[in-house]
């Protein structure tokens, strides 16, 4: 917890092999402001679990440096896929219930949902191209994943 400045999005940090030009990053940040939906414990069910489209969620915390590093890429992909995939983010500091329910142990955690089911996950600030690859794979195989698995009902067991 070195960097705890909530209002310092560290936009100039450009990791990985595909750094966007600072100007483009700023522009796409503006454009994608309305594309990436901010979800919380209350709106989660409607936005993610009951969505008709596939959903990509970034679990972040304001103080997490790696989240700030990944955010411009996440926003770029949100713009690129806005017709096919809902992009959302959830602040785990104020919405721990959802983060814990989905087993999120570190930030950033990217989770991908199909038919309301989590089907893929990637953790950490890594090559942004991996993120895009997963989005493509979820669009290609995701619904099949969601069909070809058996849901666990924790209510019956008394867990969850």
Residue 34 beta carbon to a second copy: minimum distance, rounded to whole angstroms: 27
What is the x/- site pattern for a second copy, positions 44-73, by CB under 8 A? -----------------x-xxxxx-x----
Is residue 107 at the binding interface for a second copy, with CB under 8 A as the rule?
Answer: yes
Of residues 35 and 138, the one with the C-beta less far from a second copy: 138
CB atoms within 10 A of CB 24: 12
DSSP 1: -
Residue 150 beta carbon to a second copy: minimum distance, rounded to whole angstroms: 4
Of residues 22 and 127, the one with the C-beta less far from a second copy: 127
CB atoms within 10 A of CB 16: 15
Question: Phi and psi (nearest 5°) for 80?
Answer: -65, -40
Of residues 132 and 141, the one with the C-beta less far from a second copy: 141
Question: d(Cα 29, Cα 18) in Å, to the nearest integer?
Answer: 16
CA geometry: angle 4, 9, 14, nearest 5 deg? 115
Q: Of these, 23, 52, 148, 155, which contacts a second copy (CB under 8 A)?
A: 148
SS3 state of residue 152: coil
Q: Which two tokens stand for residue 117?
A: 């089911």
Is residue 12 at the binding interface for a second copy, with CB under 8 A as the rule?
Answer: no
Q: Of 98, 61, 103, whose CA–CA distance to 70 is shortest?
A: 61
| Residues at the site binding a second copy, with contacts judged by CB under 8 A | 1, 61, 63-67, 69, 92, 96-97, 99-109, 111, 117-127, 130, 137, 141, 144-152, 154, 157, 159-160
């Amino acid at each position: 917890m070195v960097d705890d400045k909530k209002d310092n999005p560290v936009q100039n940090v450009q990791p990985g092999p595909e750094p966007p030009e600072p100007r483009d990053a700023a522009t796409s940040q503006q454009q994608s402001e309305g594309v990436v939906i901010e979800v919380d414990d209350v709106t989660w069910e409607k936005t993610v679990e009951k969505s008709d489209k596939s959903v990509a969620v970034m679990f972040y915390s304001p103080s997490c440096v790696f989240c700030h590093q990944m955010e411009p890429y996440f926003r770029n992909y949100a713009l690129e896929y806005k017709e096919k995939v809902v992009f959302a983010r959830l602040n785990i500091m104020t919405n721990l219930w959802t983060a814990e329910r989905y087993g999120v142990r570190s930030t950033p955690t990217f989770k991908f949902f199909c038919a309301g089911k989590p089907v893929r996950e990637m953790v950490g600030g890594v090559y942004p191209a991996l993120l895009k690859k997963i989005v493509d794979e979820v669009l290609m195989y995701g619904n099949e994943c969601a069909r070809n698995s058996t849901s666990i009902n924790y209510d019956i067991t008394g867990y969850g």
